[in-house]
Every structure is written in C-alpha cells, then in structure tokens.
Structure 1
C-alpha cells in the first residue's frame, strides 16, 4: 500500500510540475492577443472565398513563421492550396400539380443544372410533423437519390436556414462526380400527381487553402499527432441592429488560437518524439472541405491521434476547468488524456449532447471516418448557445480565462501521446 501511495504522490508532484511549466509557457495575454486579432471586425467574419479569410490566413502564417514551424512535406510554404468549383443558381422554377411554387418556399441542393418533368425523375419524401427534419436532411444528403422533399410548415425556421445556405450556391472538389439533386419545398401537398423542376447554374473555380506547419518528430518522425481548428466562419450576414459581421470569436477563432498556442508551446519544449502537425482548416462552415482535402494528403495509418479544437470560449455545462470530447467511447483517447491530468483540477467528460451527432459534424470527421482516433474537444453549451452562428459571437462575449485553461489542459493531457509512450486505440471506420 505504501508503494502505491508513494507512486501516487510522485504522479501528483509530476503533474504539478508540468502544470507550473505550462502556466508559464501558455500565457493568457498572448491567447487574448491571438483571438482578438482573428475575431476583429477587419477580418470581416473570415467567410470562405472572401478577402477576410485571406487576411486571417496571412496572420496565421505570420504566427507559424515566428514560432519556427516547418511546412508540411510537398508544400513550399504553410498553405495547402486546392481549388473548388462553386456553383451558383441563376434560375429556379418548381411546379407541383401544375401550380408554380413561390421562390421563398424552394431550396435546392445540386452541383449542376438539371430538369425534372416526370414522377420517375425523383423520389417524393414527405417530412411530416412527427419526423425529425435534421435527421431526414442528413439522410437525404448522404443518399445517392434525386429527391423532392415536401417540408411541413412546422419546420419553417429550419427550412429557412436550408434555403439561406442553398441560395449562396454549393461547392465541390474539381474531380468530384456529379451529385444527386435535392429539392426542398415548404408546404402541405396531400397528393402529388405531377411536378417539374428547372434549375440552371453558373460555375466558377476558386482557390482555398488550409494553413499547416509541423514540428518534426525526434525519434518517431513517421508517426503524426494533429492539432487542428477551423479558421473560417460565416463572413457578412443579414444585419442585426446594424451589425452584419459574424465575427466567429468562439466558432472557431478560439480553436485556431489553441492551435497556434500549442504550436508555440511544443516548439519551446522541442522534445516531441512524434511529428506534430498544426493545421487551421478552411471551409468547415460550408462542408468541412479543408479537412477533407487534408485527409487526402496524409496516410491515416501514420496519424496516431487528432486533437480537433472547436468552440472553447466559455465554460462547459460541467463548469470551470472542464471540457467534453466527442466520440469519447469510440477509443481510449479520452482515457489517456484524463490520466495525464491526474493531480490537476481539469477534467474531460464524454460528449453530453449525443443526439446532436457532434462526432461527425466537425473537422475530426474526415480522419475519423478512416479509422484515426480523431476527436473534437469543446466546451460549447450547444443546447443553450444563442450566439452560435450570429453576429453576437464576438470577443467581448468570451471567457479568455476559460480558453487559456483549456489550452493548457490540452497541452498537459497530450504529452504522453506526443512523447510516443501512449497510442490511442483506432476508431471504427465509417461504413456507408
């Protein structure tokens, strides 16, 4: 028993020493400087394909250069450049039973022009009040069928969000095969005997870029640990009380700040056995395209863990010094992290919002789908967060102390994975 007590005391002393070091090396005033810059009005909400996201990328590149990160193999600089095809609708006409549907009641998800004029052209799906529209929407997106989805007016609020997104068009990788089309119509239609849809678009090739840097591993350079967050947000949206900039301070300037701070921390230590990759993803808000591209550039078998950091700007539902991990039960990633925090006040919890399916709704999904123990760390109280995706998500609403303590906890909890002494179990690959 004395041996166990002595070992426990040593562990507590060790954790305390590490905590003192991390407190000195990850400073709150520097965390504040970074997140304040990323969420400032002059970043214009960091919308994809806008000057604001270019400015944000340049800032992140400057931080990486100052830290002394190296570019990823195959890149001349910190940018991972790729192109997307943006499809913008120019004509949308829908009739049901010979009656034209008002434009405000139509939303279309399609990557190319198409016309439907007979019942066989698409499957009719009625979203009645007893159904879960979010689940039906995700299921339709994941299918390979053309669908005409008739949305009950009960879901008008969510339909407007779908329509708002579709009105701006869609994006796809240049080599992506043509997608099936989904047509959403708000209203009650008891007996659909005929329908027509005419949808015309224009296409434009546009550049995108992740910002990624590495610290090569000292003894296990071919094993990778990824720290990530997304630096894009919504950009300029409909004004509220004269404010139209969706600053995205929590979503996800907070996570990007963590990535930069952790890069600085581990570069100072300079003792990582495994290669560390620090990546700020683009285009998360429009379909996680940045992380999808990144997943194509790495061998998933060599990625031993991914710490994706999303919305850590305020205390979690568990209180101060806490965060949750999505997919906690899918690997022992969370168990390892919590073991490394013994002797500290911080605790990681399983995701308290399982109905939201958060594990596959952030950038960790792109690598988790192929078996990487890739998890998202967050503190967001998503069930009551009224500032999510609004112009109100500004720096003034954040708890910088909470952000700093969470970053420090990630630094402490990741250390055995970084050192190569712990390797999380793989997650089950996603089967379609």
Structure 2
C-alpha cells in the first residue's frame, strides 16, 4: 500500500543523517548548454542525424571539461542499435465466425504494427480471447492468463489496472495510481511471454490518459525501436489498439456484452473468455537499421568505486517535425536540452566538491522520445552492474518558471528513496506533494522506468506548482501554457527571459540526495508490495 506523504515526512524527521550542503549550480552552464543544444543548427537532436553528432560531442566535451572520466572504458559512448519499422499495405482487421462479420479500418478503427524485424506480417484465422487486463502479477495473486494457452491466438486487452476507477490510492493495484501492469508496454510484453500471435488493446480515453488521436499519431508512420540479434522473434507477430466502439461491436458479434466483461475483469479470479471468433490482419513492412549513442561519464568513488549512484537525462528530441507558422524544427529547449544541461551542471558540481565514497554515473541517453530506447538499452546492457547501482535521479525537463514552495513526487511510495527526498526537501523548506493525476502513470513514461523495471530504485520528482511568486494558480497556469503552446512543438525554444531559480533549486535538491546516497553504505529498496521489489532482491542477492 502507498504510504501517505505525511508518513513519509514523519519518517524523514526521525532520521539524524547529516545532509551535504548543496553547492552553487552553474547558471552559466545551464544557460549555455540549453541555448546551444536547442539552436536550429542542431536540427532538433533526432537520433541518427547530424544533430546527434553535434549533441553527443558537446556532452562528452563538457563531461571531460568537468573532470569526469569516460564511462565505457576509454570511450564516452555506448552504441545503441535501433531499427525503424514502417507498416504499409495494411489490410482491415477482420473477425469472422460471430453473429456478424466485423471489419476494422486502419487508423479510424484500429492501429497495428510489429516489433519483429520481418518484411511481412500475416495473422490468419487466429482464435480470439478476451483476457481482461492481461496481467500476470504473482506477488498480488493475480493472473488473467491462469489455465490459458494463447499460443498462436489473438488477445484483446483492457488498458490500465483493474482498480483504476477507485478515487483513492487503496486497492490491489494501488487504486487510482497506475502501476506498471497498467501500461500498454507491459500488456504487449506479457502477451508475448504468453505466446500470443497478436495483442490488441482497447482504447478508452480516461484509463489510457490520452485520446485516440495520440494513438493515431504514434502508429501511423515509422516506429523506432531497439534492434536485436534475433530480430525480436520472441515478440507477438502483431500488436496494436482498437477503438472502444470497435471493441463493443466485436463483443456483440461474439454474443458478449463489453461492459459486463469489463466489470468481471476488475475482480480477482477473473477467467479469460474465448470469444469464438477468428482474427485476421496482414501488412508489409519497410525496415531501416540505424545506430545512436548514449553518453556516459564517471566520477570514480574514493572508497567503494564499484558501487554507483546514477543521474540520467535524455539528450534527444523530435528533430524535423510538422511546421507551425513556418518553423519545422522541434528544438526541445525545455524537453530536454534543459535536463541535459542540468546533468552537466550536476557533474561539474560533484567533481568540484571531490569524489564521494561511491562512484557517480552521469548518463545522457538517446531515443527517449521514441519509447525510452536509450535507457532501455543501457539497463539491458549495463556498462556497470545494475546490482551494484544504488539508485538515482532522472531529469526530464527542468522548471523554468521560478522557485517553488513544494516538490511533486511522481509515483510516491514506491521506494525508500522517498525518505531521501523528504529529508532534502525539508532542508530547503519545501513540502512534498503527490502528483495530481496518478492514473496517467507518468512514472512509467520516462527514462527512470527503464532502470526501475530491472530493479534499480529511481526517483522522479521536481518542482510542484506552488510558485514563490504567484502561488499555485500561477504555477498551474504556466505549466498549462507550456503544454498547450510549446510541448513537442517548434515553439519549445530557448527564452533568455526564463527564471532559472526553480531549476537551480531542484538541482541542489538532487545533489543533496545523490551525495547522501554516495557517502552512505545504505541500499534503498522498493517497498515490499511494489512490482519491482522482487527484481531488485534477486539482482542484489548475487552481490
């Protein structure tokens, strides 16, 4: 069960741990790096472009100038193999054998693609099964695939968790707060582990946290993914989404009531329902392999150099994008030139202060905007063992609206890192607030998640909305203005009038947390009921 913010703070007050004094953070570094990385000459920093070459060289040069050592032997870089797959000549997805045939058109009714690196996909007359939320969570006594063999079959899956409609944070899956099991990525991963030939998620705006248009935009065109030696042949042949109305039509054809099935799926002990219909869909693919790079800097520890505290930020953005008022470069100044600048400024501060007991890792990852691919690759191919990585902080867009009285935690109560955050926030005179929309699963949508899912406790926290100048109303208005007018648009450009006070405040917070971790012998873990606890325990058992 998630601990309340009050409980977190009470725990922190009992601690007598002496906190490191946060140093000055170079405002010059923050401004110069952000301005340079978001200049038009970097062409939006898309992976595998000339903009990448300029970006990774700048980061490596700044790491070296700060006094770090290369994090990959003698190299600053880790190669990240990528593959771009574009589905084309997509047939309608059909379901036959029911009361009436059901045919779903691409984009309007459904989207479909594949992670397999193959030239053609053909799913023909595949038995179709409704598997509820498609969750297999042994630690929660929940298995929607129990007693079921879906090898070669098509599974229809609901998005989010079974208890997402709960208004509190109580429930088998943390109530309103989405867990890893609620994310669409997990649904596809589990379906593949179960052997499903095709996995189709039902889109519903509230539990998905975004409208159908977001799905269309993400699947109607090239999709960049991680490459692998086996071409991802262990994945389902076809994956995708269908509109809610299309799902209801399918269930009616199969003699089922969608609402009744959904209600049953929310109960523990739910049994999957064979629909008695057969699914078919086919399409060709074009394949383009490419390569990108993570940039890794290391500040060796003085007494336990084989133990690591990690800071991460993604350097990439969207590159050349649809033009708005004649501008077609998505510069990504806030997202995430600012976070990359923060990573470099932290590296400078730690190096200037001198080595801690443990080593510090600074990892600028690629292809976050394409699905956390750079961080996923590092986590699956770590340059330094994850079982020896204590924990860390991810920075995805800094606060450029000004200093705040609060710190917002994304995914509160997941790990003991909350206690480190509470102590550092108290030292700044700030209070902790939980995220306002936990049902959107933001913890699973940035690079810290790649490390978390493989056991490493990672903190996602930053400025809240309560600005020292203007209060919560001003903070919320500023955030809404950015999301509406600049986020993932060409208008996310450098502004010389930004107020960097909040960014510096947060970076000093991260510094304090990182230094406490690096100078201690503690190994903070996930909370006992968290979905990542068993993975961490296993990775640490061999150390």
Superposition TM-score tier, normalisation by shorter sequence: 0.7 to 0.9
* 1:84 aligns with one of 65, 82, 85: 82
Residue 489 of structure 2 aligns with which residue?
A: 390
The answer (yes or no) to whether the contact 2:34–2:333 under 8 Å persists in 1 is yes
Could you say if the C-alpha distance between residues 148 and 308 of structure 1 is closer, same or farther in structure 2, counting changes exceeding 3 Å?
Answer: closer
* Between 264-273 and 196-205, the greater mean CA deviation after superposition: 196-205
Could you say if the C-alpha distance between residues 39 and 84 of structure 1 is closer, same or farther in structure 2, counting changes exceeding 3 Å?
Answer: same
Q: Distance in 1 between matches of 2:435 and 2:202?
A: 33
The answer (yes or no) to whether the contact 2:401–2:498 under 8 Å persists in 1 is no
Could you say if the C-alpha distance between residues 247 and 430 of structure 1 is closer, same or farther in structure 2, counting changes exceeding 3 Å?
Answer: farther
Q: Does 1:291 align with 2:375?
A: yes
SS, match of residue 283 in structure 2: strand
Q: Where do residues 125-274 of structure 1 align in structure 2 (5 Å cutoff)?
A: 125=156, 137-138=184-185, 140-144=187-191, 145=196, 146-148=198-200, 158-166=211-219, 167-175=221-229, 176-180=232-236, 181-186=238-243, 188=246, 189=249, 191=253, 196-274=280-358
Q: TM-score, normalised by structure 1?
A: 0.82
SS, match of residue 395 in structure 1: coil
The answer (yes or no) to whether the contact 1:227–1:277 under 8 Å persists in 2 is yes
Q: Does 1:18 align with 2:70?
A: no
SS, match of residue 59 in structure 1: helix
Q: TM-score, normalised by structure 2?
A: 0.67
* Pairwise CA distance, 1:393: 2.4
The answer (yes or no) to whether the contact 1:340–1:416 under 8 Å persists in 2 is no
Q: Does 1:307 align with 2:379?
A: no
SS, match of residue 211 in structure 2: helix
Q: Does 1:406 align with 2:460?
A: no
Q: Distance in 1 between matches of 2:442 and 2:157?
A: 26
Q: Distance in 1 between matches of 2:498 and 2:522?
A: 33
* 2:516 aligns with one of 416, 426, 430: 416
Residue 124 of structure 2 aligns with which residue?
A: 117
Structure 1: segments with no counterpart, 5+ residues: 1-7
* Pairwise CA distance, 1:283: 1.2
Deviations 1:347-405 (A, max 9, x none): 55444432122222221122222332211233377984323323332222853222122
The answer (yes or no) to whether the contact 1:254–1:312 under 8 Å persists in 2 is yes
SS, match of residue 347 in structure 2: helix
Q: Distance in 2 between matches of 1:183 and 1:334?
A: 35
The answer (yes or no) to whether the contact 2:526–2:533 under 8 Å persists in 1 is no
The answer (yes or no) to whether the contact 1:321–1:402 under 8 Å persists in 2 is no
The answer (yes or no) to whether the contact 2:360–2:518 under 8 Å persists in 1 is yes
* Pairwise CA distance, 1:232: 1.1
Could you say if the C-alpha distance between residues 430 and 284 of structure 1 is closer, same or farther in structure 2, counting changes exceeding 3 Å?
Answer: farther
* Between 79-88 and 266-275, the greater mean CA deviation after superposition: 79-88
How many residues are aligned here? 412
Q: Does 1:376 align with 2:407?
A: no
The answer (yes or no) to whether the contact 2:312–2:343 under 8 Å persists in 1 is yes
Deviations 1:169-191 (A, max 9, x none): 24233133342112435564453
* 1:280 aligns with one of 364, 380, 384: 364
* Pairwise CA distance, 1:282: 0.7
In proportion to residue count, which structure has more helix?
Answer: 1
The answer (yes or no) to whether the contact 2:316–2:367 under 8 Å persists in 1 is yes
Pairwise CA RMSD: 3.5
The answer (yes or no) to whether the contact 2:463–2:502 under 8 Å persists in 1 is no
The answer (yes or no) to whether the contact 1:227–1:278 under 8 Å persists in 2 is yes
Q: Distance in 2 between matches of 1:370 and 1:98?
A: 40
Structure 2: segments with no counterpart, 5+ residues: 1-12, 95-100, 128-151, 165-177, 255-276, 466-475, 536-543
* Pairwise CA distance, 1:248: 1.8
